[in-house]
Amino acid sequence: MGKIKVKVLRHDPEGKVKDKFDEFEVSVEEKSTVLEALMKIYDTRDSSLAFEHGCRAQNCGLCVVNLNGHPRYACMARITADAEITPLKHLPLIRDLVFDRRPFFSYLAKFRPYVVREKDPDEEPETLLQPPEHSKLMSCRECFACLSSCPTYDCQNDSFGGPLGFVKLAQLHYDRRDCLDRVSQAREMGILNCMDCSACTCISGIPLNKIVIRPFLALLGEGSDD
Amino acid sequence: MKHTFDAIIVGSGGSGLYAALEVSAKAKTAVLSKVYPVRSHTGAAQGGISAALGNVEADDPRWHAFDTVKGGDYLVDQQAAMLMAEEAVQAVYDLENRGLPFNRTPDGRIDQRRFGGHTRNFGEAPVRRACYAADRTGHMILQTLYQQCIKNGVHFYDEYQVLDLALKDNQCAGVVALQLSTGEIHVFEAKTVLFATGGFGRMFKITSNAYANTGDGPAICARRGIPLQDMEFFQFHPTGIKGLGILISEAVRGEGGILRNNRNERFMARFAPTLLDLAPRDMVSRAIMTEIRSGNGIRGDRKIDDYVHLDATHLGKETLQSKLPDITDFCKTYLGIDPAENPIPVLPTAHYGMGGIPTDTHGRVVIDNKGTLIHGLYAVGECACVSVHGANRLGTNSLLDLVVFGRRAGRHMADYVNHGDPAGIATDATDFSREWITRLTAKKKGPHGGRIFDKMQRTMMEKVGIYRTETHMARAVGEIQTLRERYMMVRAEDRRNAFNTDLLELIELGNLLDLSLITAVSALNRRESRGAHSREDYPDRDDPQWLKHTLARLEKDDVGLTYKDVDVSLWKPKPRTY
Ligand SMILES: Cc1cc2nc3c(=O)[nH]c(=O)nc-3n(C[C@H](O)[C@H](O)[C@H](O)COP(=O)(O)OP(=O)(O)OC[C@H]3O[C@@H](n4cnc5c(N)ncnc54)[C@H](O)[C@@H]3O)c2cc1C
């Protein structure tokens, strides 16, 4: 493909100007990914560029960025001329494209985010059939893209857990072994403030609205009837 | 800043988390990890975890142990392999009980599938032994264990990179780490420390490994005088995406995928008539390279980057979509092809280090042939060498190794914490780390780290790769030594404190250079072919001379070698055919 120009948002907490765009010229090939372009910038233009990446195979969820405003795994998205690469939104930034995941997990820890069983199974291995929603939900890579695409989520506001929070609860809600009331937890997490706008996107293809948001809202609607 | 715990776990992959889970039940535990816990490389493991459950067909832990020993070309410590195979069954049930959603048969039992080298009745035919959770087994293991660790109140220090280990005489005192978000140095004092830092595939140019797999744990130990075991054995997985090394899981062949050359021939029939495409990885990788060298690669030009085809077209769109969805995605992104319609161009890729920090079956670090321990120091997972993988690991045995030995080490540590006094960390514990960072960030001009990285990876790939010779390896040793000298002058261009990727990469480069040297020297000295170590000048296995583990000690710019016995108390070594 040859040389293209790419814009990257730089965030520097130690510098005078905290946020600005830098433009880089990089030579790429037709199938080059966003990650390859970032690596090239890092290797040949500016080794102070901070970004995260792990497995190169859409498994670890580390390399997620906004590409022209849409969340994408950098390792799987193709780079295009004049692309604009920015960090995910609504999250605490550390530097350039790197954000802090820690506060979300500390927040989540309050909801006992693990399978809580009433009693151990009678026999091993136990016979178990999970509903199909469960395995879909378990493919969540916790990449945080859904939080970036949610207009209501804000990492500073604890009263709303955001789509990722609801996914983590839904994983347990659909798990036949778990005995806690995850629906009430979804209310505590502020799901009633969800605008049901379907803006939240999951890169891994989990139908968030269909198997997370709507079912929780419906169950809460029913719950408030009696 | 200084922190004090009973137990420190370095690494939050499957092995580290399992150990943390066990030890935290009884002791104040911290997990330090340079990447976020559930993003550890264990999450990339797609294929599955082996256990002779016998759910879908007859199976037996003894068959599993035997396959492991034979797969490892008899360099496996046999009692350890037996123990792993026996404890596998309970380990899988425990994982499930803690929340791991394994795939089920239609009647609700844990489903199992085939993987290379796993057989029924001591080699008769392939057996279904791999338990799996879609193509996300590793990811689910991390999720499950992480949740349980949160439940147990484990303290997580995410994005802390450990730089050094503090020892006092023969006792462990703690570790020194760099906090990535601030650039600050922290001291963690603890009576017991466990390394679970994973693999070191980034030593090689073409690898399936994640960027973080830089062998920090083994390198840190080596610099503190601990020998590394069997480092010459590095597994090349047969099916990496050509040119990139990204893994196409063995599950594709487990489901029926076939390797073909430019005549469309199923060439594995000539190399392993019984197991065919599901022969152990070292054999399949060599078979591919042999085909390429004889002009049977797809281009047929005999060049080292020629390739073969992995044909999955006959499996059908549906099977590919339901059982191997990621594979389809990778092929579309990186190759622009649909594996349901076109064969996948593949080439072996550096995948798994069988060697590492020597331990016993409790994960305790053992530094010689006499069983001498470093008290309080443990290692598990890919960075350790028990040794259950010998000269070549079987697929799905790594995840098993993580949970079986992670659990054993965690339990042993919990016990250890309650006996004797802590060593206490010395006041000069951070000196080495500070000097290292000061040197790397000094305001001087130095060579570019990226070039040294690239040169090291190429040297290892070309000269200490699948096929090895005396001349090439001797050259590699010299080249790595030169690179280590140049490394002393390397400087980071970025001087900021927060998330300085440049600095972190240079630290990792230092670790990989040390491991490359140890690997190359260990390989050069082993004058036989065994498992993944395959020499053109010594093509046969030589049990009288070489049925022994290598222990390699880093001595400044050289490596000193001693050897250690292999436990062959169950099965006598035999020639390995499949
Ligand atoms: C693509 C791929 C697929 C695979 N599929 C399978 C499979 O199907 N079945 C199977 O059995 N095996 C498989 N393997 C092998 C297996 O996944 C690995 O061997 C195993 O996951 C390693 O686990 P671990 O716990 O040792 O380390 P990892 O999961 O690699 O974790 C290492 C941890 O150490 C931390 N760490 C490293 N250095 C430092 C430091 N300096 N300071 C602090 N923390 C540090 C990291 O942050 C990380 O948390 C596969 C491997 C690859 C590459």
Task: Read off the pLDDT of each residue in B11-15 and give the average, rounded to a whole number.
Answer: 97
Same-domain status, B219 and B367: yes
User: Residue A50 is nearest to which of B93, B107, B499, comparing CB atoms?
Assistant: B499
pLDDT of B519 > 90? The answer is yes
Strands (E), B68-110: none
pLDDT of B280 > 60? The answer is yes
Task: Read off the pLDDT of each residue in B289-310 and give the average, rounded to a whole number.
Answer: 95
pLDDT of A226 > 60? The answer is no
% of chain B with per-residue pLDDT over 90? 86
Collapsing DSSP to helix, strand or coil, B298 comes out as coil
Same-domain status, A149 and A205: yes
Hey, is the C-beta of A204 within 8 angstroms of any chain B C-beta?
Answer: no
Kindly report, residue by residue over A42-71, the tens digit of the pLDDT. 988 999 999 999 999 888 999 999 999 999
Rounded distance between C-alpha atoms, residue A204 and residue B509, angstroms: 33
Rounded distance between C-alpha atoms, residue B186 and residue B498, angstroms: 15
Range of the domain at B311: 237-347
Kindly report, residue by residue over B245-273, the tens digit of the pLDDT. 999 988 899 889 999 999 999 999 999 99
User: What pLDDT score does B432 carry?
Assistant: 97
Closest by Cα among B347, B395, B315 to B46: B395
What one-character DSSP code corresponds to residue B331?
I
Rounded distance between C-alpha atoms, residue B367 and residue B226, angstroms: 6
For residue B227, the domain's CATH number is 3.50.50.60
Q: Which of B15, B32, B40 is the pocket-test mutation for ligand 1 (most atoms within 8 Å of CB)?
A: B40
Q: Which of B36, B129, B197 is the pocket-test mutation for ligand 1 (most atoms within 8 Å of CB)?
A: B197
Hey, is the C-beta of B101 within 8 angstroms of any chain A C-beta?
Answer: yes
Overall domain count for chain B: 3
Q: How many angstroms separate the alpha carbon of residue B196 from the centre of ligand 1?
A: 9
pLDDT of B335 > 70? The answer is yes
Mode of pairing for the β-strands spanning B2-10 and B184-195: parallel
Hey, is the C-beta of B467 within 8 angstroms of any chain A C-beta?
Answer: no
Kindly report, residue by residue over B350-397, the tens digit of the pLDDT. 999 999 999 999 999 999 999 999 999 999 999 999 999 999 999 999
Same-domain status, B188 and B80: yes
Say if CB B223 and CB B230 are below 8 A apart.
no
Collapsing DSSP to helix, strand or coil, B353 comes out as strand
Contact B401 CB / ligand 1 (< 6 Å)? no
Same-domain status, B487 and B397: no
Of A159-163, B98-102, B503-507, the one with minimum mean pLDDT is B98-102
Rounded distance between C-alpha atoms, residue B492 and residue B512, angstroms: 17
Same-domain status, A119 and A202: yes
Specify the amino acid at residue B129: R
Say if CB B477 and CB B517 are below 8 A apart.
yes
Kindly report, residue by residue over A70-93, the tens digit of the pLDDT. 999 999 999 999 999 999 999 999
For residue A142, the domain's CATH number is 1.10.1060.10
What one-character DSSP code corresponds to residue B328?
H
Same-domain status, A7 and A79: yes
User: What pLDDT score does A223 carry?
Assistant: 42
Domain end residue (candidates: A82, A99, A116): A99
Same-domain status, A110 and A84: no
Dihedral Cα B216, B218, B219, B223, nearest 10 deg: 140
Active site residue B62: no
Task: Read off the pLDDT of each residue in B231-247 and give the average, rounded to a whole number.
Answer: 95
pLDDT of A172 > 90? The answer is yes
Q: Which residues of A touch B139 (CB under 8 A)?
A: 59, 141
Residue count (chain B): 578
Hey, is the C-beta of B24 within 8 angstroms of any chain A C-beta?
Answer: no
In the structure, what pLDDT confidence band is assigned to residue A222 with cuts at 50, 70 and 90? very low
Q: Which residue of A has its CA nearest to B182?
A: A94
Report in angstroms the alpha-carbon separations of B25 from A78, A107, A200, B408, B415: 46, 23, 38, 13, 11
Specify the amino acid at residue B270: R
For residue B500, the domain's CATH number is 1.20.58.100
CB pairs under 8 A between A and B: 133
In the structure, what pLDDT confidence band is assigned to residue B493 with cuts at 50, 70 and 90? confident
For residue B279, the domain's CATH number is 3.90.700.10
Mutant choice from A114, A123, A136, A164 vs B, greatest count of B C-beta within 10 A? A114
Neighbouring C-beta atoms of residue B421, cutoff 10 Å: 7
Task: Read off the pLDDT of each residue in B162-191 and give the average, rounded to a whole number.
Answer: 96
Of B211-215, B232-236, B445-449, the one with minimum mean pLDDT is B445-449
Say if CB B285 and CB B466 are below 8 A apart.
yes
Structure ipTM: 0.89
Residue bearing the bigger pLDDT, B214 or B304: B214
Q: How many angstroms separate the alpha carbon of residue B198 from the centre of ligand 1?
A: 4
Domain end residue (candidates: A66, A99, A132): A99
For residue A44, the domain's CATH number is 3.10.20.30
Domain end residue (candidates: B404, B424, B444): B424
Same-domain status, B31 and B57: yes
Structure tokens at A53: 């990446």
Q: Which residues of A touch B107 (CB under 8 A)?
A: 127
Rounded distance between C-alpha atoms, residue B334 and residue A25, angstroms: 22
Hey, is the C-beta of A87 within 8 angstroms of any chain B C-beta?
Answer: no
Rounded distance between C-alpha atoms, residue B403 and residue B381, angstroms: 8
Q: Which residues of A touch B143 (CB under 8 A)?
A: 138
Evaluate whether residue B551 is within a structural domain: no
Closest by Cα among A118, A139, A135 to A59: A139
- Residue A59 and residue B140: Cβ atoms within 8 Å? no
Range of the domain at A189: 102-223
Same-domain status, B398 and B444: no
Task: Read off the pLDDT of each residue in B86-106 and give the average, rounded to a whole number.
Answer: 90
Same-domain status, B48 and B97: yes
pLDDT of A124 > 80? The answer is no
User: What pLDDT score does A224 carry?
Assistant: 43
Q: What is the pTM of this model?
A: 0.95
Kindly report, residue by residue over B135-159, the tens digit of the pLDDT. 789 999 999 999 999 999 999 999 9
User: What pLDDT score does A121 carry?
Assistant: 77
Same-domain status, B219 and B241: no
In the structure, what pLDDT confidence band is assigned to residue B69 with cuts at 50, 70 and 90? very high
Rounded distance between C-alpha atoms, residue B141 and residue B145, angstroms: 6
User: What pLDDT score does A225 carry?
Assistant: 40
The DSSP code sequence of A4-64 is: EEEEEEEE-TTSSS-EEEEEEEEEE-TT-BHHHHHHHIIIII-TT-------SSSSS-TTE
Specify the amino acid at residue B318: E
% of chain B with per-residue pLDDT over 70? 100
Task: Read off the pLDDT of each residue in B499-516 and give the average, rounded to a whole number.
Answer: 96
Which residues, numbered 153 to 192 in chain B, qualify as contacts with chain A under a Cβ-Cβ cut-off of 8 Å?
A: 158, 181
